[in-house]
Amino acid sequence: MKGYSFYATLVFATFLGFLGIDRFYTGSWGLGLLKLVTGGLGGILWAVDVILLLLGIYNDGGGEPVVGNRRDAIIEKNTGFSLRMR
């Protein structure tokens, strides 16, 4: 795992997902280009990616799940709050 931040990916997917920014960030260049050119297929891929991310089954470009990194764990420990399902 390359250690992509779960929370950064969630912010990118939520606010810029229709442009594919979340996919570019995690190394999925093909899906990023598809989302950029089609506007997230009219919002369908945007919604699917946000749901996959919250369920913990969103994969990066290498096929590894984006479940967070060490910094995410520190944030969750200090705040006592987590959005991750896994």
Confirm whether 85 is domain-assigned: no
Could you give the number of structural domains in the chain? 1
Confirm whether 42 is domain-assigned: yes
pTM, two decimals, is: 0.88
DSSP alpha helix (H) spans, the chain: 6-16, 21-25, 29-42, 44-55, 70-79
Confirm whether 75 is domain-assigned: yes
d(CA 61, CA 8): 16
Confirm whether 1 is domain-assigned: no
Asked whether residue 86 carries a pLDDT value surpassing 90, the answer given is no
Confirm whether 72 is domain-assigned: yes
Confirm whether 20 is domain-assigned: yes
Asked whether residue 1 carries a pLDDT value surpassing 80, the answer given is no
pLDDT in tens, 20-68: 999 999 999 999 999 999 999 999 999 999 999 999 899 999 999 898 8
Confirm whether 45 is domain-assigned: yes
Range of the domain at 69: 6-79
